[in-house]
Chain A
Amino acid sequence: MDMKRDYFEDIQLFRTNTVLVATVVFLAVLAIVPFFAGAYTLYVLNLIAIHSIVAIGLNILVGYTGQISLGHAGFFAIGAYSCVLLMVKAGVPFIFALPAAGFISAVFGFVLGLPSLRLEGPYLAIATLGFGMAVTQVISHSDFTGGHMGIKAPPMSVGPFVADTGAAQYAVIVTITVILAIAAVNLVKSRVGRAFVAIRDSEVAAEAMGINLPYYKTLAFAVSAFYTGIAGALMAFALEHVSAGSFNLILSITFLAMVIVGGLASVMGSILGAALLTYLQLKLLVIQEAPGIGPFLLEVSKRFLTPEGIPNIQSIVIGAIMIAIVIFEPLGMHGIYLRTKRYWRTWPF
């Protein structure tokens, strides 16, 4: 046990030197990866980083504030389209268009937060579900947004630096992810984050503490939408194209699954959950190439499912993994981390 001498030690970002060292090592690894990794690995890491931002944002809403949203694909789409449209149609440079996309998304988040003042649980889920579906419909039927075809995204550029290679995209995306993750860690341990958790644990008591319920609930939606909007914009650049079809209900549910698999009310859990599900989804696309089990699954799917049955196998495997995690570790991957930490604390005894 290390002795604390100052209240700041209770609240600082890196509470112990171990955490500090681990974080520095992790960031150093992130920094040198592009020098070794191939284009595909970088693409996967970009997707993981982007999904981490969404999962962190959604976790602020679901895990910390205790509200539900099945419409986050809508914010993802709003962020993607507003950033690309600002750049293509209005000539706004990337460095301003990206935060603007976040704030536009946050405004929509605030508006969607209004029903949360009256609705809760399943009712709120349906309201947000409606929002997510409406956004996709509007975007895919408007000429301004390129209709079903979508629009091509220009490369990200910061001043003279143009991110037109995978490694350059990685640099921009991962930097933004790290900044947003640190901001989230700070936010949730501050007065605002405590107010969010208070609303989750007891609305009656939260109000008795002087917490302005309408303000903080809509704020949670706005912050969550800001994160998701930024992530959506980055996704447009990672794929170099946006189209409405990709922002569907399945995407919203996948985001929610990342949060729950990773661990509710944990920023690190969000990142772990996003990494695991993103990786699994990509890996399971090529499950028939897996050694040993791949040909067997292909055989099974040919015999019992339709000829294009392999996607079913992917869904079954990913579903089974999610069920297993939720059953055996209700706290998600964050819970696994906590147990490992507790084990090593007393090692080797």
Chain B
Amino acid sequence: MAFLSIQDLSISFGGLTALTHISIDVRQGLILSIIGPNGAGKTTVFNCITGIYRPNQGSITFQGKELVGKKPYQVASMGIARTFQNIELFSHMTTMDNLLLGRHIHMKTNVFTGATFLTRRSPAAREEREHRERVERIIEFLEIESARDIPVLALPYGTRKLVELGRALAMEPTLLLLDEPSAGMNQEEKRDMMFWIRDIRDDFKVTIIMVEHDMNLVMDISDEIVALNFGVKLAQGAPNAVQKNPEVLEAYLGQQ
């Protein structure tokens, strides 16, 4: 049984068909990249997995459990984290608080224990300290210590991307969806991002699905690639094979 299995997924918005009969199997521990020209439906796949869109047809099973029909927060608590194409951070909060929100599903403090957060021994204070330590390790891993207590509003774009990645990691997901992790970064930052994505897979034992436009990055780190065009799956396979696939070449370069 596949770790994540998308079967016969179709979705349309009004008259516009965004995905047509897409089936993708994702094995555990892989880095799988979804590529395709603009409007191919890459982000739509993410939005279907995370419950933001409800597909018209098809099923998505994650570790044997159906995801279609679940609310985004339910999907998140099953261990699926994501980042967004146009960074969605809590912009008035500090980096620390943003990452602590990633710990939300692992924490228990409710309105009553929260309001009586008085001494070092109160349950809320103990839990808070424990989770701050975990977040601190992620801050160290991503080398964003200098941004720790700064509101993300005041951070440069590249750092915000990292904070968003850190926030997803703080959720300790088993499946991580990265929507254009290297968009808007310079060559050096892209290379760093590539190493981080590999390290995340190896150190955190996370399966990663990534939407990405930078082909060098995609070819370097992906174990498998899925190519989409106009909501149709063109190919799935190892980077070399997909790169040579005539249909993929046609989608990107046009007919010879």
Contacts and interface: CB of A to CB of B under 8 A. Distances in A.
B93 A190 contact: no
A317 interface: no
Given A8-B120, A186-B117, A210 B129 contact: no
B196 interface: no
Interface in A209-223: 209-213, 219, 223
B73 A186 contact: no
B102 interface: yes
Interface stretch (A192-200, A247-255, A271-279): A192-200
Interface stretch (B28-36, B81-89, B185-193): B81-89
B2 interface: no
Nearest to B133: A7
B72 A208 contact: yes
A145 B120 CA distance: 46
Interface in B86-104: 88-93, 96-97, 100-102, 104
A187 B111 CA distance: 7
A202 B111 contact: no
A210 B71 CA distance: 9
Contacts of A191: 100, 104, 107-109, 114, 124, 127-128
A193 B91 contact: no
Contacts of A206: 90, 101
B242 to A, nearest CB: 29
B118 A197 contact: no
A207 interface: yes
Specify which of A191, A192, A197, A206 lies most central, judged by the most chain B CB atoms within 10 Å of its CB. Answer: A191
Interface in B155-170: 167
B128 A11 contact: yes
Contacts of A187: 111, 114-115, 117
A8 B119 CA distance: 9
B132 interface: yes
Specify which of B76, B100, B101, B108 lies most central, judged by the most chain A CB atoms within 10 Å of its CB. Answer: B101
B93 A201 contact: yes
Contacts of B90: 197-198, 201-202, 205-206
Contact of A219 (B92, B107, B111, B117): B111
B81 A223 contact: no
Given A186-B118, A191-B114, A208 B88 contact: yes
B195 to A, nearest CB: 25
Interface in A79-113: none
B84 A192 contact: no
Contacts of B142: none
Specify which of A6, A10, A13, A186 lies most central, judged by the most chain B CB atoms within 10 Å of its CB. Answer: A186
Contact of B50 (A182, A198, A208, A212): A208
A59 B90 CA distance: 18
Specify which of B76, B81, B91, B96 lies most central, judged by the most chain A CB atoms within 10 Å of its CB. Answer: B76
A121 to B, nearest CB: 18
Contact of A205 (B88, B115, B116, B133): B88
B121 to A, nearest CB: 10
Interface string B118-139: 1010001101110011001000
Interface in A245-286: 265
A194 B76 contact: no
A195 B76 CA distance: 14
A32 interface: no
A11 B125 contact: yes
Contact of A197 (B72, B92, B114): B92
B110 interface: yes
B88 A189 contact: no
B5 to A, nearest CB: 21
A192 B105 CA distance: 11
B52 interface: yes
Contacts of B113: 190
Contact of A207 (B71, B109, B114, B171): B71
B245 interface: no
Contacts of A192: 109-111, 114
Given A190-B114, A206-B90, A213-B73, 9 more contacts: A6-B129, A7-B133, A191-B109, A193-B114, A194-B97, A197-B97, A205-B84, A210-B105, A210-B171
Interface of B: 50, 52, 71-73, 76-77, 81-82, 84, 88-93, 96-97, 100-102, 104-105, 107-111, 113-118, 120, 124-125, 127-129, 132-133, 136, 167, 171
Those 7 A-B pairs whose CB atoms lie nearest each other, nearest first: A190-B114, A210-B76, A210-B105, A207-B72, A201-B90, A205-B88, A186-B117
25 contacts: A6-B129, A8-B125, A11-B117, A11-B125, A13-B117, A186-B115, A187-B114, A187-B117, A191-B108, A191-B114, A197-B93, A201-B91, A202-B91, A204-B52, A207-B71, A207-B73, A208-B82, A208-B84, A209-B171, A210-B76, A210-B105, A210-B171, A211-B101, A211-B104, A265-B92
